[in-house]
Amino acid sequence: MFLKWQKEYDVGHTVIDYDHRNLCNLINALHRDTHAGLTPEKITNAYNMLVEYVKEHFARKEELFLNSDYPDTKKHIDQHRRIEKRVQLGATLYSRVPDEFDTDEFLEFLKRWLTHHILETDQGYLPYIQNTEDEKKKDGA
């Protein structure tokens, strides 16, 4: 397994943890598919699935940010757009020139990004979204 899920990757938010596990699974599937000798078309499908899930994950997180008092919302959303572009670029480059694209380097980028994203970047907003959700529970929302 390329990227092994570890308990320390759980951030304590059900939806976000679910998304992070799915991102890990999609990265592992891309790794598996590229090393199994599948056709470029099938590998392109794996890239496209990852691109779409990254967008969906970021949209869910951004909704949480916008419904909280998280002070770095704009900065974090800007980071999301940069990552989305980089993941999309990787998928596009692979689909155009699969024999020239360094998938292993791209997979290493994805692995570094996801683990840093979970262990460091995401830690900053968790107290804000948790506080917002706690307040909603108190108010009966």
Whole-prediction pTM value?
A: 0.90
Share of the chain above pLDDT 70, in %: 92
Asked if residue 44 is part of any domain, the answer here is yes
Mean pLDDT (the chain, rounded): 92
Q: pLDDT band for 123, please (50, 70, 90 cuts).
A: confident
Whether 131 shows a pLDDT value over 70: the answer reads no
Rounded distance between C-alpha atoms, residue 19 and residue 99, angstroms: 30
Whether 141 shows a pLDDT value over 90: the answer reads no
Asked if residue 116 is part of any domain, the answer here is yes
13-56 pLDDT, tens digit per residue, is 999 999 999 999 999 999 999 999 899 999 999 999 999 999 99
Count of structural domains within the chain: 1
Asked if residue 1 is part of any domain, the answer here is no
Whether 137 shows a pLDDT value over 60: the answer reads no
- Mean pLDDT along residues 99-123: 95
Tell me if 44 sits within 8 A of 95, measured CB to CB: yes
Give the pLDDT confidence score for residue 130 in this predicted structure.
81
Asked if residue 2 is part of any domain, the answer here is no
Share of the chain above pLDDT 90, in %: 85
Alpha helices in the chain (DSSP H): 14-35, 40-66, 73-96, 103-119, 126-139
Whether 138 shows a pLDDT value over 60: the answer reads no
Asked if residue 5 is part of any domain, the answer here is no
Q: Which domain holds residue 78?
A: 13-132
What residue has token string 């869910």?
60
For the beta carbon of residue 118, count every other beta carbon within 10 angstroms: 20
Asked if residue 70 is part of any domain, the answer here is yes
Output the CA–CA distances (angstroms, integers) from residue 119 to 10, 12, 75, 85, 111, in the order listed: 9, 12, 17, 22, 12
Q: What is the DSSP letter of 140?
A: T
Asked if residue 40 is part of any domain, the answer here is yes
Domain CATH for 46: 1.20.120.50
Tell me if 98 sits within 8 A of 38, measured CB to CB: no
Asked if residue 138 is part of any domain, the answer here is no
